[in-house]
Amino acid sequence: MRYGMAIDLKRCIGCQSCTAACKVRNGIPAGAFLSKVLVKESGRYPNTRIDYQPMLCMHCENPPCLQVCPTGATSKRADGIVVVNQDECMGCRYCVNACPYDARVFLQGLQPYYPAYGPTPYEKVSFAKLQTGVVTKCEFCKDRVDQGEQPACVVTCPTKARTFGDLDDPNSEISRLLARRRGAQMQADLGTNPSVFYLLA
C-alpha cells in the first residue's frame, strides 16, 4: 500500500478551502501553512489568465528530508506517509533545507490570529498539542486515514479537485484516475518519486 493524492488543476478554483481546512484540523498558528495554494498570473492584457497550484508535502518514495534528519525524527510509514516525531526533532532544520517542495515548517512560536485578544479557546486547545522549536509538515491527516477517513483537504474541497487513495491498488479511484488522465509529478527529475500527482489534461 502506498497512499497518494491526485489534484485536478482544471477543477481547482483557488478558493483556499484546503488551506483553511488544514490549518483548522492541525491547529496551525498564524504565519505557518502545511498546505497552501499558489496563485500565478500570466499573459498580457487582454489575454491574461490565473493558474492555481496547490502545494503540500509530496510524501516522496525517496524523501530527501528523511536522508538528512540526524535524529531519526523523520520517518516513512509502511503506507508511504512521511511523518515527523516532534519529540525526537531537535529543530536543526536540515529537512527544511533538503525539501525541494518547500513543504516543511519550523514552528518558531505559537502566534494566535488576533494577538491583541490572546488565543481563542480553540487555539488554546490546538496549541497545547503542538511544540515550538521543531519542524512540522502535512502528514495526509494520518489519524483520519488510520480511521478510514479522507484527509481534511480532500473532504473540504468544494470542486472535488482532490482524490486520495492507494496508488498500489490498480482498482482504487486514484489509480483509475491516473490511468485515464495524464498526471505529472512535481520535479520528477529529482528522483524523489512524489506521491502527489497533478492532473493536467
What are the tens digits of pLDDT across the range 44-101?
999 999 999 999 999 999 999 999 999 999 999 999 999 999 999 999 999 999 999 9
199 with 181: CB under 8 angstroms?
yes
Contact assessment for residue 31 and residue 19, using Cβ atoms and an 8 Å cutoff: no
Give 136's strand partners.
105
Q: pLDDT tens digits for 163-198?
A: 999 999 999 999 999 999 989 999 999 999 999 999
Domains contained in the chain, CATH given: 3-199 (3.30.70.20)
To which residue does cell 498526471 refer? Answer: 183
Tell me the Cα Rg of the chain.
17
For 127, other C-beta atoms within 10 Å of its C-beta total 19
Cell 497512499, residue?
3
CA torsion 159→10→146→141, rounded to 10°?
Answer: -90
pTM, whole model, 2 decimals? 0.93
